[in-house]
Structure 1
Amino acid sequence: MTVTEQQIPAPLAEIIDDFQAMEEPDRLQLLLEFSRSLPELPEHLADHPELFEQVVECQSPLFLTLELGDAPEQPVEIFFSAPPEAPTTRGFAAVLHEGLNGLPADEILAVPDDMPDQLGLTRAITPLRMRGMAAMLARIKRQITDARSAA
């Protein structure tokens, strides 16, 4: 079964397929290219670090926050803050941003927890860094669940 046949949203499945189509050294280069595409924070969040949650499992400082509407079908907006000198962390954040941002909450919640392993980077990246990406995904899902509970 290919990634696109699993419970992974199409934008994220395309990214995973791109990684899997490459040789291992090229996958790391692709991750570094993603790191350069992580969007800057919008003005309304840039000066409000109190709105972000730190993902402490990441080796480099990474913070994230979400904005979502009341209805499950409304898009979830995901925002990451990571320093430029942390390209692996920024790369993982950019993969999740490009693959999940703007999707409905239910689609994001359905993403398998082992999705980071599907990028094929487990031999090129340390286990600690892989846990950091898994933690980013887990935090996104938890923030969605918490926001729904509070509504």
Structure 2
Amino acid sequence: MPAEPAEARPLPTALAEIAEDFGVASAQEKLQLLLEFSDELPALPERYAGHAELLERVDECQSPLFLVVEVGDGAALDERPVNLFFQAPAESPTTRGFAGILHEGLDGLSAAQILDVPDDAPYRFGLAEAVSPLRLRGMVAMLGRIKRQVRLKTAV
């Protein structure tokens, strides 16, 4: 049986709810929502502050964005919780907003759920009408780095 196309796969519940909120918003409202996610992005935990070597830079982002993924213990991928941490400057609200969306929608999910997130997920928020394609590429890259780190840390 062939694999289901990525665009047919559903988003995890929290990410789907965020996509729905963006989907019904006007371009101006989308920018406002993005700013709210930017403001709500949690600060980097103490254990990572000042330890740039522990963070991965996402070069595709127009502003400096760094992330780190922690994967908890468990016998199977669906039992291993994933926590996401991001660092982006306050003067980069779009980049921080993308990170905030991914944090809100993915943090705490299992490794299996993260790996199952469709690669086209960032395009499902309808942000192309509010931000440039180049900026959106940064969010796609963030998701790719998150999934790559989960694979590395779970040896998948």
- Given the two structures, how large is their TM-score scaled by the length of structure 1? 0.92
Q: Which residue of 2 aligns with 1:102?
A: 108
Runs of 4+ in 1 over 6 A off after TM superposition: none
Structure 2 residue runs of 5 or longer lacking an equivalent are 1-7
Q: Which amino acid aligns with 1:142?
A: R
1:123 Cα offset (Å): 2.0
Does 2:26 align with 1:23? yes
Q: Which residue of 2 aligns with 1:112?
A: 118
Q: Which amino acid aligns with 1:135?
A: A
Is this contact kept in 2: 1:66–1:79, CA < 8 A? yes
Is this contact kept in 2: 1:7–1:110, CA < 8 A? no
Distance 2:121 2:65 in 1: 19
1:70 Cα offset (Å): 3.6
Distance 2:9 2:21 in 1: 15
Structure 2 SS opposite 1:29 = helix
Does 2:135 align with 1:129? yes
Of 140, 146, 149, which aligns to 1:143?
149
1:47 Cα offset (Å): 2.2
1:131 Cα offset (Å): 0.4
Instruction: State the Cα deviation string for residues 67-94 of structure 1 (Å, max 9, x = none).
Output: 1124221210100000000000000000
Does 2:84 align with 1:78? yes
What's the RMSD between the two structures over aligned residues?
1.4
Q: Which residue of 2 aligns with 1:34?
A: 37
1:6 Cα offset (Å): 4.4
Name the % identity.
58
Distance 2:61 2:45 in 1: 23
1:44 Cα offset (Å): 1.2
Q: Which amino acid aligns with 1:20?
A: G
Distance 2:86 2:69 in 1: 9
- Given the two structures, how large is their TM-score scaled by the length of structure 2? 0.89
Is this contact kept in 2: 1:75–1:105, CA < 8 A? yes
Is this contact kept in 1: 2:71–2:154, CA < 8 A? no
Is this contact kept in 2: 1:55–1:61, CA < 8 A? yes
Aligned length: 146
Q: Which amino acid aligns with 1:115?
A: A
Structure 1 residue runs of 5 or longer lacking an equivalent are none
Q: Which amino acid aligns with 2:54?
A: L
Structure 1 SS opposite 2:127 = coil
